[in-house]
Amino acid sequence: MTMGVVIVSGGTFGLGQSITVELARRGHRVVAFGLDRPQVSSTAQGFDGLRAELDAAGCTADVLEADVSDAADVQRVVAHTIDRHGSIDGLVNNAAIGPLGTVLTTDEPTFDRIVDVNLKGTYLMSRAVLPHMIAAGGGSIVNIGSGAGYGKPNMAVYSASKGAIAALSTAMAYDHFRDHVRVNVAIPGGGGIVSGMSVGRMGGDVEAFTRKSAPGTVAGRPATGRDLANAVAFLLSDEAATISGTTIDVGCFAHQGGPIPPTH
């Protein structure tokens, strides 16, 4: 895929917003969707910030309100994309929620909502998009993972959902190898990366979050949304034509129980 049509779930705020804007800036035709209301454990709300950032970057994207865990909403997003743009070349499954909790402190409705958004949402989007990619001769799916997918304290169900994303991605990469559909995972992390979810876990206080001691990355700073977006753009591109079933860890060691502890 050179410059193609890409759907970004959860693409209207935070890290998803960074992905939407970077892909649009590079010339992709982007369809971004999310919910225009606050979500549990996240500060994500409203589309005005995305529209302002797109304007500032001198680019455009389709911005839709839809719930990734609702099959009818997912089909509506895909139908819009096909009707307006005629094809779907790439899919970024970014939508996620991440309430904290152990198995003892997470109630059943919260468990269901985490799995519905993080895992079923990825399944629904992939299921809806794959037939179009296969009919067109191929495509690229990038699922946004998490270092928590390998297990983190007080993130039992979120960790389980992101571990499932890793397994689902590898299985999909096998299943659609001969369809020329590539499936990969990008993990943000490194400590200090600002997202609606991470700030939401601190009550929405961005300043308090950014004041936390964080080791960051090998670049000597925390990763940013654009760092993640650059990796996603690579995985969507023809430069990654032979890459499927792999994980790019944007934040350094997030996949090995990291980040690296800060010095004192």
Q: Is residue 119 part of a domain?
A: yes
Q: Is residue 261 part of a domain?
A: no
pLDDT for residue 37: 73
pLDDT for residue 209: 46
38-41 contacts, C-beta under 8 A, 24 or more apart: 39/97, 39/196, 40/97, 40/99, 40/110, 40/113, 41/97, 41/98, 41/99, 41/100, 41/197, 41/200, 41/201
Mean pLDDT over each residue of the chain, to the nearest integer: 90
The least confident of 44-58, 129-143, 174-188, 205-219 is 205-219
Share of the chain above pLDDT 90, in %: 76
Q: How confident is the model at residue 215 (pLDDT cuts 50, 70, 90)?
A: confident
Q: Is residue 264 part of a domain?
A: no
Q: Is residue 144 part of a domain?
A: yes
The arithmetic mean of pLDDT across residues 173-177, rounded, is 98
Q: Tell me how far apart the 2 most distant CA atoms of the chain are, in Å.
A: 56
Q: Is residue 191 part of a domain?
A: yes
**pLDDT tens, position by position, 95-110:** 999 999 999 999 999 9
Return the CATH number at 228: 3.40.50.720
CA distances from 4 to 26, 27, 93, 257 (A): 10, 8, 16, 35
Residues annotated catalytic, as ranges: 158
Q: Is residue 242 part of a domain?
A: yes
227: left (phi over 0), alpha (psi -120 to 50) or beta: alpha
Q: How many residues does the chain have?
A: 264
pLDDT for residue 109: 98
**pLDDT tens, position by position, 12-46:** 999 999 999 999 999 999 999 999 876 665 556 67
pLDDT for residue 189: 79
The arithmetic mean of pLDDT across residues 228-237, rounded, is 98
Domain hosting 141: range is 5-256
Block residue for tokens 């990355």:
217
Q: Is residue 186 part of a domain?
A: yes
Residue 244 has pLDDT above 70, yes or no: yes
The arithmetic mean of pLDDT across residues 214-243, rounded, is 92
Sheet with 29-34, strands from edge to edge, namely 62-65, 29-34, 5-9, 90-93, 139-144, 181-187, 247-249
**Alpha carbon distance 240, 144 (integer Å):** 17
Q: Is residue 111 part of a domain?
A: yes
Q: How many domains does the chain have?
A: 1
> How many Å separate Cα 247 from the centre of its chain?
13
Share of the chain above pLDDT 70, in %: 83
Answer with the residue of higher pLDDT: 253 or 200. Answer: 253
Residue 202 has pLDDT above 70, yes or no: no
